[in-house]
Amino acid sequence: MATVNEIMDELQANGSESIKKILVKHGILEPFFGVKIDYLKKIQKRVKKDYELAKGLYATGNADAMYLAGLITDDDRMTKADLDAWVKAALSNNINEYTVPWVASQGKHGYELGLEWIDSSEPHIMAAGWSTLSCHLALTPDDQLDLGRIKQLMERIKDTIHTSPNRVRQKMNGFLISVGSYVAPLSEEAIATAKSVGVVTVDMNGTACKVPDAVEYIMKVKNKGAVGKKKKEVKC
């Protein structure tokens, strides 16, 4: 059984200053070593699932270790308290937009907490909330979704997206894409909402990343005949 200290030593030995410089531009905050995702996945393959080790790694506050924690934790064992602690500490964009939403949505409390988090006053928690809800739509059969609530959320986005915090706008746009791509009964409504919203501008801090056009994205999925095709896994 690997320990937190052993894994941290391994991460430090496999960090890269050039990777760090790239990740800083993408909103990853110190401390972290700049370990490639491919290497983190090698550790994941070796460790498999380890809930206690994951919690220990996440508690280090090191962004590489936090990302790895999300890959190896047992999602079903994650409690609401665990997830609330994780989202509060998720200050780096990769952790609040991916790691925490992945773990929450694949566990038992994702939908409930996603709805709570989007009402937060903290932008990083709001972003995590919208991303968690997007993952929930990608994973959950349509007949188990609250379609009425999803419609309300789309109305909320239409009314508030352009006045919401920077990265939150990106995740709201992503939610519309998820509705249009994964929720067949509401796909056309998602397209209509996206058209009403118009262009979504997000400051990407000088990186090459772009905000996808929601209408174009959904139409590509539609043209492939893939609307409503669910995912078994959102972690990557």
How do residues 164-180 score in pLDDT, each as one tens digit? 999 999 999 999 999 99
Q: Across the chain, what does the average pLDDT equal?
A: 97
Residues 84-136: pLDDT tens digits? 999 999 999 999 999 999 999 999 999 999 999 999 999 999 999 999 999 99
Single out the residue of 200, 29, 194, 171 nearest to residue 101, CA to CA. Answer: 171
Q: What is the pLDDT of residue 1?
A: 84
Residue 53: in which H helix or E strand, if any? helix 51-58
63-88 confidence digits (pLDDT tens)? 999 999 999 999 999 999 999 999 99
How many CA atoms lie less than 13 Å away from 102 in the CB half-sphere? Answer: 21
For 5-52, the pLDDT digits (tens) are 999 999 999 999 999 999 999 999 999 999 999 999 999 999 999 999
User: If 0-12 CB within 10 Å is exposed, 13-18 middle and 19+ buried, where does residue 31 land?
Assistant: exposed
